[in-house]
C-alpha cells in the first residue's frame, strides 16, 4: 500500500473527505504547520497519526521546510497531499517531491491563483467558477492539472455561498484524483498535461445561465 502524508493548515474538510473515501492507501500522517488547526482533531478521531511542524518556530523558510521534509520522510510518505496547506513552498522543496506532490485550489486555474478566490471571482463577474487538483510546480498555484470541477455563480451568491458550492466539489474531485494516482492511471505528457487512462469525458457542457429553448 502506498503511504500518504496529508498537509493541512486549518479546517481540514478536504483531508476528511480523503479519509472518508476509503482509498487503497495508508494515511501515514496528517501534518500541520498550525498547532491549532481544527483538522488535527478530526484526524485523531479517525485514528490517524498527527504531527505539528510550526513554521513560526523556525528562523527561515528553508529550515522550516527541512523539518517538514524530515517529518514527511520519517512517515515514509510516497505521495504528499496539500489540503488547505497555506505556506508557499520553495523550488527546493517542490523539486524534492516532484511528481508526488499534489494540491487543491479553489478556482478554475489558471484563473485566480493565490488568496480570496471566491471574492475575486464575484468581483470579476465570472458566471462559472470552480476548483482544481494539480501537481505542484515551482510557480504558485500552477502545475499539470489532473481534474477540475465547475459550478455556476448564481445572482444571489455572496462569498460564503459560492465557497460552499465550490467546497462540495472539492470534496468529490480530490479523492478521485488521488485514487487515479494510486491506481497508476496518470501519465504526464509534455510539460504541463496529464493523461488519465480510462477517464470518462463529461456528458455535457455547463452553461451559466442556462441556454433557453
Number of residues assigned to the chain: 213
| Residue 105 backbone phi and psi in degrees, to 5 | -130, 135
Is 12 near ligand GAR (CB under 6 A)?
A: yes
Q: Which stretch binds ligand GAR (CB under 6 A): 8-16, 44-52, 92-100, 189-197?
A: 8-16
d(CA 75, CA 205): 42
Where does this chain touch ligand GAR (CB under 6 A) — which range of 7-15, 88-96, 152-160, 202-210? 7-15
- The catalytically annotated residue of 105, 118, 129, 134 is 105
Decide if 116 is catalytic: no
- From candidates 53, 68, 104, 108, binder to ligand GAR by CB under 6 A: 104
Question: x/- contact string, 170-189, with ligand GAR (CB under 6 A)?
Answer: x-------------------
83 scored as a contact of ligand GAR (CB under 6 A): yes
- What residue has cell string 496529508? 6
Which helix (H) or strand (E) segment holds residue 133: the answer is strand 128-135
208 close to 152: Cβ distance less than 8 angstroms: yes
d(CA 10, CA 150): 24
Residues lying near ligand GAR in the complex (CB under 6 A) are found at: 8, 10-14, 39, 83-84, 104-106, 141, 167, 170
Amino acid at each position: 500500500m502506498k503511504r500518504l502524508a496529508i498537509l493541512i493548515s486549518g479546517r481540514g474538510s478536504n483531508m476528511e473527505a480523503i479519509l472518508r473515501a476509503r482509498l487503497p492507501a495508508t494515511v501515514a500522517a496528517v501534518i500541520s504547520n498550525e498547532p491549532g488547526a481544527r483538522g488535527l482533531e478530526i484526524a485523531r478521531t479517525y485514528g490517524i497519526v498527527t504531527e505539528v511542524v510550526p513554521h513560526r518556530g523556525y528562523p527561515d523558510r528553508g529550515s522550516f521546510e527541512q523539518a517538514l521534509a524530515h517529518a514527511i520522510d520519517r512517515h515514509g510518505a510516497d505521495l504528499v497531499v496539500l489540503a488547505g496547506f497555506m505556506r508557499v513552498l520553495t523550488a527546493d522543496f517542490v523539486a524534492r517531491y516532484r511528481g508526488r506532490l499534489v494540491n487543491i485550489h479553489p478556482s478554475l486555474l489558471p484563473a485566480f491563483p493565490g488568496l480570496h478566490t471566491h471574492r475575486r471571482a464575484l468581483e470579476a463577474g465570472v458566471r462559472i467558477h470552480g476548483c482544481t487538483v494539480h501537481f505542484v510546480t515551482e510557480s504558485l498555484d500552477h502545475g499539470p492539472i489532473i481534474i477540475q470541477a465547475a459550478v455556476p455563480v448564481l445572482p444571489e451568491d455572496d462569498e460564503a455561498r459560492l465557497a460552499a458550492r465550490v467546497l462540495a466539489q472539492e470534496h468529490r474531485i480530490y479523492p478521485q484524483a488521488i485514487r487515479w494516482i494510486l491506481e497508476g492511471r496518470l501519465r504526464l505528457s509534455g510539460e504541463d498535461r496529464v493523461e488519465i487512462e480510462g477517464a470518462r469525458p463529461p456528458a455535457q457542457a455547463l452553461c451559466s445561465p442556462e441556454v433557453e429553448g
